[in-house]
Amino acid sequence: MATATSIVRSPAALLSAKVTVSDHKPTPTVQISRFPSKRSCFTALLSSLHDNNNDDDNNNNNVISHPKPLSSSQLFNSVSNGSRLRVAYQGVRGAYSEAAAEKAYPNCEAVPCDQFDSAFQAVEKWLVDRAVLPIENSLGGSIHRNYDLLLRHSLHIVGEVKLAVQHCLLANHGVQLEDLSRVLSHPQALAQCENTLTKIGLSREAVDDTALAAKHVALHKLKDTGAVASSSAAKIYGLNILAQDIQDDCDNVTRFLILAREPIIPGIQNPFKIESRPLRNQPLRAADDNNGSKYFDYLFYVDFEASMAEERAQNALRHLKEFATFLRVLGSYPVDTTMM
């Protein structure tokens, strides 16, 4: 096992990250030893950490420039209840993402998109005002596709939503539990209900979305097939709920990001998180163990508590640039402390 340690220092010693790369598990394990006091948060993207400073990074002492942001008061005073907003989400009506969009903006017009990338594009093309997309689940982990799309697109994170996921077993009216032989749902939903579905004795078939599974069962009036989806999907598609809360773990929470064309600068706290991904579009580097060269280039997505207006946050970003070939601030946003 090869181990490399990279430490980012500032007057407040904002954080230190230990990256361990295993021969069998190339994805690094990151241990956080220190992080700042409670502030607002922003997400920074680090790429290709290296031990030596580059000579061409002479502008590291300059304060990092950002797009002119909207203030939190400007944003939330005008759209605090979600009125006049069109909010994109991935999936069909009844999806958990739709519930997250309506939690973020209760009076919004939720706009379904068939793919995650379509939701990003809808915001960029001014077809909608916001997008609400899942980024991680407490059981299933990070949704790597959306991390990659954050880098590929130029949207800003302006908020987050945490949604408690409560799976239900749905079927057409008149269908009993003993009539079912199979169940449809998203792969993660099926995995999260594995114990319950095994006890019932149902075969599993994966589809792209939980609500899409419910829609399919209802549309084709299937008598031997159920769906794992939300209670709202049952109501929308006229299905009967045979069993509620069938997930194996009751602490099943999905975190969604709210994306917009312009950033904001709030003053609310957020916890610390690091997510790493192999760096695409660059070949893996062969290395000589004797000189300590690295084998992989990685992208690091970092959430940490800081105010973008603080000098120490600017100092931290300036120092991060000394260790990274690329750095981008993805957003500064308030944390969601509620659960639904």
Write out the catalytic residue numbers: 254, 256
Q: Find, among 241, 220, 221, 219, the residue nearest to 229 by Cα.
A: 241
**Amino acid in position 314:** Q
Instruction: Give CA–CA dist 43/258, Å, rounded.
Output: 13
Rounded Cα–Cα distance for residues 313 and 92 (Å): 40
Name the DSSP class of 280: T
Q: Are 191 and 137 in contact (CB under 8 A)?
A: no
Note the helical H segments in the chain: 72-79, 96-104, 116-124, 144-152, 187-192, 194-200, 210-219, 231-237, 311-323
Instruction: Using alpha carbons, select from 148, 162, 191 the residue that is nearest to residue 96.
Output: 162
What is the Cα Rg of the chain in Å?
A: 22
Q: Taking Cα atoms as reference points, which of 42, 37, 126 lies closest to residue 86?
A: 126
Using the structure block, give the residue that is written with the tokens 């899942």. 134
What is the dihedral sign for C-alpha 116, 119, 123, 125?
A: positive
